């Protein structure tokens, strides 16, 4: 396993209580970094806090769809660590599986609000602290669904496509501040959120992956962590594929 240099770096990871977010957090902690994990599940946050020294980690209960909650967590993170160098925008929800003409309007709005508007809220709050230091690395979690669209998941597909566009805008805006903004597009991964989907839907999206399997959490964490290092010093506004061959662009 490659080692990454996160010494003296502070990361914010949204949706970091489990799944890909937690795998990234653990990899960064193993690599000497400090991490502020944001999640809305208090039980998960308590379990994480119990496993690590308080000097290494901070947990914040945050609803990224609530701007005041995001701003309070940003303030708490800066008060504890004095800086924010890295942002992993991972938090999102999947929503139900239904065709567009049957999709519940309230559910569509919620998926977009949390996954896209919430990503905007977090970025808006954290970026000024990176600009001040003239350094930052932001990795946004999109999905292969944001490239290709998944039938029966119009809200999730639309939200993840929006995350890609936001990534490209931010990458151009922040290039002059030595802040790299990139996105990754995972295929379905072994997360609680993914495994909660209907079995037939899950079977359908796995069948589209040439690798013939789900993405392992450690595989996602490896790519995300490299994108968050200082070594990723030139690429910005780009999309890195994690789809097991489903998308080749």
Residues involved in catalysis: 156
C-alpha span between 161 and 170 (Å, rounded) = 14
Q: How far apart are CA 24 and CA 225, in angstroms?
A: 7
Query: Are 188 and 217 spatial neighbours (Cβ–Cβ below 8 Å)?
Result: no
Name the nearest CA neighbour of 65 among 40, 31, 85: 40
Quickly tell me which residue has 């990795």 as its tokens: 139
* DSSP bridge pairs for 88: 13, 139
74-113 core/surface letters (b: 16 or more CB in 10 A; e: else): beebbeebebbbbbbbbbbbbbbbeeeeebeeeebebbbb
Q: How far apart are the first and last CA of the chain?
A: 27
- 3-state percent breakdown (helix, strand, coil) of the chain, nearest 5: 50, 15, 35
Both tokens of 104, joined, read 């519940």
Count of beta carbons in the 10 Å neighbourhood of residue 215: 21
């Amino acid at each position: 396993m490659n080692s990454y240099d996160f010494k003296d770096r502070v990361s914010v990871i949204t949706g970091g209580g489990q799944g890909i977010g937690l795998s990234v957090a653990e990899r960064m902690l193993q690599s000497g970094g400090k991490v502020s994990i944001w999640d809305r599940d208090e039980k998960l946050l308590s379990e994480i806090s119990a496993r690590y020294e308080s000097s290494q980690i901070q947990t914040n209960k945050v609803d990224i769809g609530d701007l005041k909650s995001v701003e309070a967590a940003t303030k708490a993170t800066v008060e504890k660590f004095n800086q924010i160098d890295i942002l992993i925008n991972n938090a999102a929800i999947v929503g139900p599986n239904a065709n567009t003409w049957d999709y519940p309007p309230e559910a569509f709005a919620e998926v977009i609000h949390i996954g896209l508007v919430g990503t905007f809220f977090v970025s808006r709050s954290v970026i000024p602290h990176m600009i001040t230091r003239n350094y930052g690395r932001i990795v946004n979690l999109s999905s292969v669904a944001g490239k290709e669209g998944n039938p029966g998941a119009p809200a999730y597909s639309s939200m993840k496509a929006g995350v890609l566009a936001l990534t490209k805008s931010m990458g151009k805006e922040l290039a002059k501040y030595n802040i790299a903004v990139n996105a990754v597009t995972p295929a379905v991964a072994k997360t609680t959120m993914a495994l909660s989907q209907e079995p037939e839907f899950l079977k359908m999206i796995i069948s589209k992956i040439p690798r013939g399997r789900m993405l392992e959490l450690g595989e996602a964490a490896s790519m995300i962590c490299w994108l968050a290092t200082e070594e990723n010093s030139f690429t910005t506004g780009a999309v890195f594929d994690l789809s097991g061959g489903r998308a080749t662009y």
